[in-house]
């Protein structure tokens, strides 16, 4: 019984450690960002169709562009090809940009 309590305590400690943002990798936080901001239109995973047929899946975007170039575009808050389209302009702060590009890199590597 005492043993079991110790185990539960350990599990709780683990959970606390991996709590919001702390133990998560940048790519995981980027995944949360794209889920929140991009998934309404773009497919954000390793497979699947975009909800908005005109929006290319992020994995294709990750392959088509150099992630460094995207980083720049995100930083400027301008999506060059987004003018006069449905996609709203986004501005991200530098840590978020790092997370977004980390996620795109992981997509490119095929393991989101």
Q: Which residues bind ligand HEC (CB under 6 A)?
A: 34, 37-38, 40-42, 52, 54-56, 61, 64, 79, 81-82, 85-87, 90
Residue 37 or 105: the one with the smaller Cβ distance to ligand HEC is: 37
As a whole number of angstroms, the distance between CA 90 and CA 108 comes to: 22
Q: State the minimum distance, in angstroms, from the CB of residue 29 to ligand HEC.
A: 13
Residue 14 or 69: the one with the smaller Cβ distance to ligand HEC is: 69
As a whole number of angstroms, the distance between CA 17 and CA 35 comes to: 23
Residues 6+ apart with CB under 8 A from 63: 108
Closest alpha carbon to 39 in 27, 54, 28, 52: 52
Residue 19 or 88: the one with the smaller Cβ distance to ligand HEC is: 88
């Amino acid at each position: 019984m005492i043993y079991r309590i110790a185990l539960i305590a350990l599990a709780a400690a683990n959970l606390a450690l991996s709590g919001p943002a702390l133990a998560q990798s940048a790519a995981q936080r980027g995944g949360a960002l794209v889920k929140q901001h991009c998934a309404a239109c773009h497919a954000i995973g390793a497979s699947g169709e975009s909800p908005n047929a005109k929006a290319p899946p992020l994995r294709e975007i990750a392959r088509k562009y150099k992630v460094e170039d995207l980083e720049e575009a995100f930083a400027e808050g301008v999506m060059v090809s987004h003018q006069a389209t449905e996609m709203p302009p986004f501005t991200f702060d530098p840590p978020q940009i790092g997370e977004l590009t980390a996620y795109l890199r992981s997509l490119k590597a095929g393991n989101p």
